[in-house]
Structures are given as C-alpha cells and as structure tokens.
Structure 1
Amino acid sequence: MSENWHEPFPQGPVELVLVRHGESLGNVAATTAQLSGAEVIDVPARDADVDLSPVGYDQAKALGLSLAGIPAAQRPDAIWSSPYMRACRTAEVAATTAGWAVPILLDERLRDRELGILDTLTATGVEARLSGEAARRRWLGKFYYRPPGGESWADVVLRLRSLLADLERQPGATRILVVSHDAVILLFRYILEGLSERQLLDVAATSTVLNASLTRYGRDGGRGRWRLESFNVTEYLAEQGVALTEHGGDADVHPQ
C-alpha cells in the first residue's frame, strides 16, 4: 500500500458560477415555431453551429460589463464552456468585455442535450409525426426518456459527473465560471444539491433558466457539499438596459 494513502483529497474550487448562453438564433426560431403552431423549427444551422441573436450578443456584452466589477482576487481562474457556438461566443464576448485574461476551455461534456430523432421538431410536430415517442416520453418523464439517437437527462448527468471530477482536480483553480445550456444548468443543480428526480422535475416545471442568467455555488475550504447561493440572476441586464429573454423548454416534465 502506498505510504501516501492517508493524505487528504486535494482542495478543490470554492466557487462555481454557471451561466446560460445569451439568446440564440435557435431560441428565437423555436419560440416563433411554437407560437405559430408549426411542426418544424426553422433553425439556421446544425445545433452546434447556431450563433447568438443580436440581442444575445448584447446580453453577452452586458454580462462582461457586470463581471468586470468583480474584484481581481475573486475572479475566476478559468472559464469552461460548451463548444456549441452560442455558448463559446457568450464566453468569449463576456471575457473580452470584462478584460479578463483567463483561458476559455471548451469541453464537449458541457454541450446541450442531444435530441436525436426529435431534433428540430416542436411539441406539436412530435405529436403529429411521432405520436408513439410522444406517448413514451409522457410515460417515462423528462429525466429518463431517451429519444432514439439522442440523450435522456440521466445520460447528461453521467457526463457532468465526469466533468465535475475533473474540475475538482484543476491545479490552482479556486473559482470557475461555466457557460452552458438551460438543461445542463438544471442538471448541475441535480448533482450539486443531491436532488431527487421529483425535486429536479418540480424545479424544471416551474423555472425557466433565462438567457445569460447566473447561478452561483460556494463552499468553504474547497471541500464538501456545494451551497446554492443564487439561481437564475439577471438583474444586471435591466440595469444596463438590455432585453431579458425567456426561451424555456416543455414544462410538462413529470412522468404520467
């Protein structure tokens, strides 16, 4: 047995800030399709390549101006981002605007949930074209339903647990900012707060993770359970005269 077996686990981060990307062209297209009763969302590119909308760019700049006010000693040591364009653009614009010379690390484990056969379909489209899948999703609920070729929320949780283990081992990283997607941020809550499926789905049914919102976790000494200190904060957008946008998913998330 190694003589170092008794050494404590190295100190991990003391702060984790989760940011949803700014409004995307895909968000706008999806909301337009839902309001019009369309079956298909007219997305401008594959999901990974969907850019921010003009409002989304304004939100990312406003985020950067807000972050610029953080004292140097409390700024993140690194920014981790989903590689999807809407997320990494948000990270890049915010960091540049804030004047932060910190690395932006792209990690595919932070990408949005993959929808497989349901990709580009509205809820109306799924019911009309894939009624069997619609029924299966209602039966299983959003956490465990996996569309053919896609992922369940439980699948996303697996990759996030792997990522969190890597974050714990980052040398010298005491504060980390993560830019990702609405479902991913909800699933961070599931892991970090030890929520049950029911508790998670209750949050998902009643809360929309807003574009460019901040969710903050802290813990003492870089060890132990994370504390949720704030969720879905967007006040800085109104303070800077930037539009608040709300593009949520399906609130019908519980198994039936």
Structure 2
Amino acid sequence: MHPQDPADHGASDPPTRSGAAELWLVRHGESTGNVAATAAQAAGAEVIEIGQRDADVPLTSRGAEQAAALGAWMAGLDPGALPQAVWCSPYLRARQTAQLALDATGSGLRPRVDERLRDRELGVLDLLTAVGVERRFPQEAARRRWWGKFYYRPPGGEAWTDVVLRLRSLLRDIDDAHPGGRVLLVAHDAVILLLRYVCEQLDEDQLLEIARTHTVVNASVTQLTRAGDGISWNLASFNAASHLESAGATVTEHAGDTDVAPR
C-alpha cells in the first residue's frame, strides 16, 4: 500500500479559522467621570469627585451628542457595511453610547452586554489622581514605576495583563458567535488599546508607544479586519473621529485611566 500524499489531506495548507471578519472598536461618549477626572488632574487635586460607582457614571450632554453622531454616521452607510452584532461594556456610559447610536441607525439591533468589556479596575487607587497616588500610596507609586504600566497591578485591581486575559476569552466567543461577521464593540480607552494589543499581536513596547502618543477620543471608531489567513488582524483605521466633526459634535479627549498614558 502506497502512503497517501500529505497534500491530499491539506497538510501543506495554511491554518484557517472561521471567525469574525471585522471589528469596530468604539470608546463611549464623554462621561461625567471624564470631565471630573480631567478637572481634578488640572487642579492638582488628589481625589476625583464623582459621587457614583464607576459602573454608574453617565454620559454628559456632549457625550450623548457624540453617540447620536456615531449613529447618524452609521445610518448613512450602505446597509451591507453595517455591523451585524453589537457587544457592549456593562458600564452605564458604554450602554448609553451603544443604545443612542443604535437608535439613530434604526437597525433594530440590541447590544449584548458582556462584563469582560468593562473598564480596568483600579482597586485602592480608584478615584485618585496621579498626585493622589503619590501622596496617599507612595509605596504603590514606587511599585508602579518599578513594574511598569503593563504589569503593575494595584491592590484589589487589575494589571493590563489581567484585562488582556478576559479579552482573549471574549474574542474567542465573538469568533464562535459571528463567523464571517462584522461586530461593533463599545467599551473604554484601555480596553480598545488592549484589544489592539491582542488582535495585532503587539509587544509591550509597541503598546506603550501607542498609549504614549495617542488618546482614544470619545466615540471614536477603530476598525480591524481579518487578514487573509483568517486568523490574524490588520488595522484599517485607528481613533477616527471625522464622523463627529461632520455632524458638528464636539471631539473630546480625556485620558481616563492614568496608566493609559505612560509618563
């Protein structure tokens, strides 16, 4: 009996995977927490005064306008170019952004809320500015400098690497649920950067350089498309906000998590 040619079984073919074909990554619109954090940083205050859990922080009126502008832009696209599914962080500002945008499209889509898209948890450093961390937790400030932005985990909180673990799991589920599909994800600045890290197979230095040189603006769109191998991803656009400008909505930049923009 003659051995079969390995090519008969596709042994020489590159690996392929039937997963999602395109991801749209959207940061939520401007929130009251964004405004409070930016004001606290500018004033040199130690604490960001919000009076709500991070999960309950709503959009500002500008944030609502940004979400509506996102939806208006989507409504103007060819129906065949629109996302077939929407996944969303459970935090209120993200859910409001997703719903306002979808309402404007008239698509009838409903966002699927998934806790793995929530913002990075800061533990004992929650609601503290960089000044507040230095003054109230000087040992943690030193630990953060030693470990670096990527690996530092505040007590009770998450490192960027912890967020990456949950995002890898999320992406597997999205691939399984939407083979060949276009999926819109509404989340947070750090989450969007870390989704890029996972999908583009970046290293720590590349990720930190992107974070150092860019702020993910509110209601911006980042698009990733699947490469020809069906596995890896290509960056089609990053941090696009022209849809906001076209609709007359204000473009706002808030760095959010102070670890997102390395100093």
Q: Does 1:253 align with 2:262?
A: yes
How far has the Cα of 1:173 moved from its partner? 5.8
CA 1:252 to 1:204, structure 2 compared with 1: closer, same or farther past 3 Å?
Answer: closer
Contact 1:13 1:222 in 2 (8 A): no
CA 1:152 to 1:219, structure 2 compared with 1: closer, same or farther past 3 Å?
Answer: same
Q: Does 1:244 align with 2:255?
A: no
1:99-114 equivalent positions in 2, closer than 5 A: 99-114=106-121
Q: Counterpart of 2:78? A: 71
Amino acid in the other structure paired with 1:212: A
Deviations 1:145-167 (A, max 9, x none): 00000000000000000000001
Contact 2:16 2:229 in 1 (8 A): no
Task: State the Cα RMSD in Å.
Answer: 1.7
Contact 1:115 1:149 in 2 (8 A): yes
Q: What is the aligned-residue identity percentage?
A: 55
Distance (whole Å) between structure 1 residues aligned to residue 247 and residue 17 of structure 2: 40
Contact 1:217 1:228 in 2 (8 A): yes
Distance (whole Å) between structure 1 residues aligned to residue 104 and residue 32 of structure 2: 22
Contact 2:57 2:92 in 1 (8 A): yes
Q: Counterpart of 2:39? A: 32
* Structure number, greater radius of gyration: 2
How far has the Cα of 1:100 moved from its partner? 1.4
What SS does structure 2 have at the residue aligned with 1:169?
helix
Q: Does 1:229 align with 2:236?
A: yes
Contact 1:111 1:181 in 2 (8 A): yes
TM-score, normalised via structure 2 length: 0.90
* 5+ long unaligned stretches in structure 1: 1-5
Distance (whole Å) between structure 2 residues aligned to residue 150 and residue 80 of structure 1: 24
How many residues in Structure 1 have an aligned counterpart in Structure 2? Answer: 248
CA 1:252 to 1:227, structure 2 compared with 1: closer, same or farther past 3 Å?
Answer: closer
Distance (whole Å) between structure 1 residues aligned to residue 41 and residue 229 of structure 2: 43
TM-score, normalised via structure 1 length: 0.93
Deviations 1:15-35 (A, max 9, x none): 110000000000000001111
Q: Counterpart of 2:221? A: 214
Q: Counterpart of 2:103? A: 96
Q: Counterpart of 1:19? A: 26
* 5+ long unaligned stretches in structure 2: 1-10
Distance (whole Å) between structure 1 residues aligned to residue 171 and residue 261 of structure 2: 28
CA 1:129 to 1:171, structure 2 compared with 1: closer, same or farther past 3 Å?
Answer: closer
Q: Counterpart of 2:175? A: 168
